[in-house]
Structure 1
Amino acid sequence: MSMQPSRPSEVPAETVGVARAAFPKGSLAIRVRNELGPLFCDEEFADLFPARGKPAWSPGRLALVLVLQFMEGLTDRQAAEAVRARIDFKYALGLELSDPGFDFSVLSEFRDRLAEADAGRRVLDGVLVAARDKGLLKTAGRARTDSTHVLTAARDVCWLERVSETLRSALNAVAQAAPDWLVEVAELEWFRHYATRAEDSRFPKSRAAREELGLRIGRDGTRLLHAVRSRQAPRVLRTLGQVEHLRQMWVQNFHQVEGEVRRRAPKDRPPGAKCLVSPYDREARNSVKRDTAWAGYKVHLTETCEADAPNLITNVATTDATVPDISMTEPVHARLADTGRLPDEHLVDAGYVDAHVLVRARRKYGITLTGPAALAISPQTASGSGFTGDDFTIDWENEQVSCPGDRTTARWNPDRSPEGTPVIRVRFNKSDCQPCPVREQCTTSSVGRRLTLRPREEHEALRQARADQDTDTWKERYKTRAGVESTISQGVQRCGLRRSRYRGLTKTSLQHQLTGAAINLARIDAHLTDTPRARTRTSHFTALRPAELTLGGAK
């Protein structure tokens, strides 16, 4: 299909008249059109279509349909039917009442084009640009960020079904690419075992039988991989995604011992960041955060938080489930800087805060990063009566450290932490520590006290952050961060944020960009209609609690 760009036009007069009669008080779609005008232009998506071919339906309008679809939780069929039959949709899209719309399959094709070009950001940015032009987006104040887990669309399967389905998928891909070659290579038993889905048969109950079945699947997959890599095999087979998935799955689950295929022991398997967990979704990963364990992804939402404007989501970032929050602080800031939406103060959870990001946020982006800084962990801090790193005096110019026992050391060695960040290793002499009268409060080591310091700027930034977070002023300012939890709740309840509709990181990321755009339109409409923001819910029993009684003091 090709695209023939057309400039956004005014809403037809007949559509305006019928819409006003049908919606005398307006509707969300009508108010958004009246306030923001056409949100998207066809030219914004011109690179997604070839120059020749059958003319495509307006991509600018399709982008708005996707946002309205996510805002109301519609299926593709329901969204296409709404374009044909609903007056408020026709009004928002600027269509004639007689416009027949499009077939529902057009939406999935357009999403594929958006996903392949990573163009979901354009949809979210289109809403934000329109809101900025109308004075509804204020980014010069504060913003807040938090993340939540996202479940993969692929169902959870046991180990036997995982390897069996991976092998079946690879066989189907090879059969499509080189059917004649596979007929010569495949064993007769393969057609009996892998012609149908594993869920259509029953696995044995006994442990020994299940182990033997797993080894048989492992041997069959190994034979197929050897055949694909042979000189007689068509070279195109090595480039198939399903064959590469099979290779990775087999490397992670099987190995050969004296020429025999064996299952890897648990300690011999890859870490969670690399471990494949599904035969249907290659990019989903297992992760655990406190009491929550899931297979899938993680999404990070950043929003404005000013009292006199709607709280709009300014950035959405999706990663696999194993990426820690601290790794996303810099990418979030970089994205906000690229789009001109950097806040003055960024309120984040403890997972986003570390010494180097505190310094980098201030130095590179001019941002005050506000979040709980982790306290130093050591036997001295655990006891509560020992000397912590803050009790030592550091002479940065002369590269010396003095301890509470009036001893000074110059054993100052630049190094790197296991994570690769620069640190400084400081060590006191054994001869100084052993006779020290306060040794029991300092160290139990027989070789002397050791300290690990950050570079000076990071050390001082972290020390200042720990001191600030104990003040009432900081705690009062930080209360605003909790509001991002309601954004996650709204995304979950309205748009199904915590469960991916699609398989793969690319399409899941597109889903989250559209979710962010949908929530923004809903919040803009709430602002236009003066809908008050919901207050924190309080149970009936909690509301009866006496003012002088706190939960912390209840017995």
Structure 2
Amino acid sequence: MSMQPMESGEIPAETVRVAWAAFPKGSLAIRVRDELGPLFRDEEFADLFPARGKPAWSPGRLALVLVLQFVEGLTDRQAAEAVRARIDFKYALALELSDPGFDFSVLSEFRDRLVKAEAGRRVLDSILAAAGESGLLKTAGRARTDSTHVQSAARQLCWLEQVAETLRAALNEIAQAAPDWLLTVAEPDWFKHYATRAEDSRFPKSRAKRDELGLRIGRDGTRLLEAVFSPGAPGEPRALEQVETLRQVWVQHFQQVEGEVRRRDPKDRPPGATRLVTPYDTEARGSVKRDTMWDGYKVHLTETCEPDIPNLITNVATTVATVPDISMTDIVHAQFAQDGRLPGEHLVDAGYVDAHLLVQARREYGITLTGPVAGVVSHQTTANSGFTGDDFTIDWDHEQVTCPGGETTTRWNPDRSPEGTPVIRVRFNGGQCRPCPVREQCTTSSAGRRLTLRPREEHQALRQARAEQDTDTWKDRYKTRAGVEGTISQAVQRCGLRRSRYRGLAKTSLQHQLTGAAINLARIDAHLTDTPRARTRTSYFAALRPAELMLGGAK
């Protein structure tokens, strides 16, 4: 397929006449076209197509179809049918009423081109650019970010299902690539155990028999891997994707002890960031957050939060499930800077904040990072008595610390925390602490009190943040952050945000970019029709909760 760029042009007069006759009050597709004009140009996607070949359907129009598909929750077949049959779609796409549209498979092919070129973000950016030109986007004010879990498109598997399905998938792929060779190495029982899906089998209920079944699968997989990598084996099976997946899963879950296959101890298995959870989506990872456990990914949504214009999603970032929120803060800020959409204040939850990021956001991007910071962790704060680190006087210029009892130490050692961040270790001698009259309020260690400090700028930023977050002014300002949870809810209910439609991180990321674009169109349409924003729902009983209980719950 090749692409010959063409202008979306004016909407045909007959299409305009019929569309307004059919939709006298307009529709989302009609209103968005009238307000924002053509959202995508073919030239934006020219690098996705070769210079020669059969002409492709307009990629600019296909991009709009993908977004409208997510707005209305349509399948590929339904979206292609809407282009052929719906007048408002023809209006938005500037098509003649007689235009036959395209085969539904074109949408899948176009998504593959977007994924291969990592061009999904262009779709969201084009809508934001059009909104900015229409005065519907303000990025210099405040922004808010939150994340949510995303289930993989592949079904979640228990351990026995995982290893059985991994072996079955490898056998099926080898059966296509080297069927004659596979017949020479396959055990007769393999056709009984791995010819059908593991979910169609009934696993034993007793723990001993389940362990025995797992070891049998482990031995069968080991036997197949030994055959694949033996000197006389053909080369085709070794290069197969599912064979490599089988090898990785067996390394992660099994080992050979004195020639016998054994299941690895949980402490001997790799961390979740590298551990495979299904052979059908090898980029998905297992994670847990509070009471939620899932296999798949995580998505971070950032939106504007201004009262007089639509709250538009300005950044969407998709990661594997094991990536912590705190590692995404600087990535989101860097994307702000690259797009020219740096906010003045960034509202986030506690997972995105630490002392280093407070300083970095202000110094490198001019952003005020607002979110709850962790309190001081020590047995004194836990017991709510005694001297905490804030009771010590720090002389940064002379690198010395004075305790509440009046003793001063110069044992000041730069170091790094287990996470790799710079810290300062301060230690008082046991000889200073033992005779101290307030020792019981300070430390129980005979070796003396120890402190761990952040670098000066981070330490001061952390203390200031802790002091501010206890004020009513900060709490009132921070209430705005809660609105992003409504955005996640809208994306979940309207676009199925928490379930990936596709397998793999790249395709899931494209899904989320299209989801962000779809939510933006829906919000722009709501703004144009003066649809009021939804309010936080509170039940009648919850509204009766006494104020002191509400404060206690917040703590």
The TM-score by the shorter chain falls in which range?
A: over 0.9
Question: Partners of 1:421 and 1:114 in 2: how far apart?
Answer: 37
After TM superposition, list the pairs within 5 Å mapping 1:151-550 onto structure 2: 151-543=151-543, 545=544
Q: Which amino acid in structure 2 is aligned with residue 85 of structure 1?
A: A
**Corresponding letter in the other structure for 1:293:** M
Give, as a single letter, the amino acid of the residue that structure 1 aligns with 2:125: D
SS of structure 1 residue aligned to 2:470: coil
The AA in structure 2 aligned to 1:204 is P
Partners of 1:539 and 1:195 lie apart in 2 by: 53
| Structure 2 CA distance for aligned equivalents of residues 210 and 152 of structure 1 | 26
Whichever residue aligns with residue 138 of structure 1, its letter is K
What's the Cα RMSD here?
1.7
Secondary structure, counterpart of 2:169 in structure 1: helix
Query: Structure 1's 121 and 548: CA in aligned 2 closer, same or farther, altered over 3 A?
Result: closer
Matched AA of 1:356: H
Moved more, 177-186 or 531-540: 177-186
Deviation at 1:547, TM superposition (A): 8.6
- Gapped regions of structure 1 (runs ≥ 5): none
By how many angstroms is 1:118 displaced? 1.7
User: Distance in 2 between the 1:51 and 1:192 partners?
Assistant: 51
AA aligned to 2:475 is K
Task: Summarize the Cα distance change of 1:368–1:38 in structure 2 as closer, same or farther, 3 Å threshold.
Answer: same
- TM norm structure 2: 0.96
Aligned length: 553
Report the CA distance between 1:161 and its aligned residue.
1.4
Residue 78 (1) aligns with residue 78 (2):
yes
Could you say what secondary structure the match of 1:386 adopts? coil
SS of the residue corresponding to residue 24 of structure 1 reads coil
Report the equivalent of 2:141: 141
Q: Secondary structure at the match of 2:7?
A: coil
Distance 1:387 1:134, change over 3 A: same
Partner Cα distance (2:109, 2:476) in 1: 48
**Comparing 191-200 and 43-52, the one that deviates more:** 191-200
Deviation at 1:502, TM superposition (A): 1.5
Distance 2:202 2:546 in 1: 61
**Unmatched 5+ stretches in structure 2:** none
1:418 maps to amino acid = P
Cα deviation 1:101-154 (Å, max 9, x = unaligned): 111111112112212222111111111111111111100111000111111221
Alignment check: 8 A CA contact 2:8 2:93 kept: no
Distance in 1 separating the partners of 2:385 and 2:201: 63
What's the offset of the Cα at 1:236? 4.6
1:375-394 deviation digits (Å, cap 9, x = unpaired): 11110111112111111111
Question: For 1:51 and 1:203, how far apart are their aligned partners in 2?
Answer: 55
Q: Identify if the C-alpha distance between structure 1 residues 235 and 394 changes in structure 2 by more than 3 Å, giving closer, same or farther.
A: farther
Instruction: Output the CA distance in 1 between the equivalents of 2:29 and 2:55.
Output: 26
Where 1:276 maps in the other structure, the secondary structure is coil
Q: Please give the per-residue CA displacement for 1:387-408, whole angstroms capped at 9, x wherever unaligned.
A: 1111111111111111101111
Identity of counterpart residues, as a percentage?
A: 81
Tell me which moved more, 36-45 or 171-180.
Answer: 171-180
Give 1:67 shift: 0.5
2:374 and 2:206 mapped to 1: Cα distance? 48
Aligned counterparts of 1:456 and 1:493: Cα–Cα separation in 2: 46
Query: Counterpart in 1 of 2:127?
Result: 127
* Gap change, CA 1:208 and 1:382, over 3 Å in 2: closer
Using the alignment, how far apart are the partners of 1:453 and 1:174 within structure 2? 57
- For the 8 Å contact 2:413–2:425, the answer to whether it is kept is yes
AA of the residue aligned to 2:225? L
